[in-house]
Structure 1
Amino acid sequence: MKSDATKQKFIQLRAEGLSYAKISEQLHLSKSTCSSWENKFADEIATLQGQRPGRC
């Protein structure tokens, strides 16, 4: 089981637009885990994306 810190980092990196490949390399996750977490944390990712400066 992955730590909450790893999950939060995943959410942050996806909100920044990093690919599964880059995230899996940085956080030592499989791409299938990234895909699963993308669905699980979609609301959190979207919230962070809305908070970034320069977004419409």
Structure 2
Amino acid sequence: MSKPTGGAVSLEQERFDQTLQALADVDACRVIDHQAVQAWADSLGTEPPLPTPYFQYTR
């Protein structure tokens, strides 16, 4: 089995960094309600679609 080349390593590192940022966002209560995201996604393609949801502190 061969090792990933530079591009693959860079992509893997970027994903790892994004995962760490996402976990930090959760720890800081920067999350978006799942139901709000689902309602927004369901409204895409309709006129007018719902506004993009944003995070609200959960504490």
TM-based fold match above 0.5: no
Structure with the higher helix share, 1 or 2 = 1
Larger Rg: 2
Q: TM-score, normalised by structure 2?
A: 0.29
Compare relative contact order (CA 8 Å, sep 6+) and give the higher one, 1 or 2. 1
Q: TM-score, normalised by structure 1?
A: 0.30
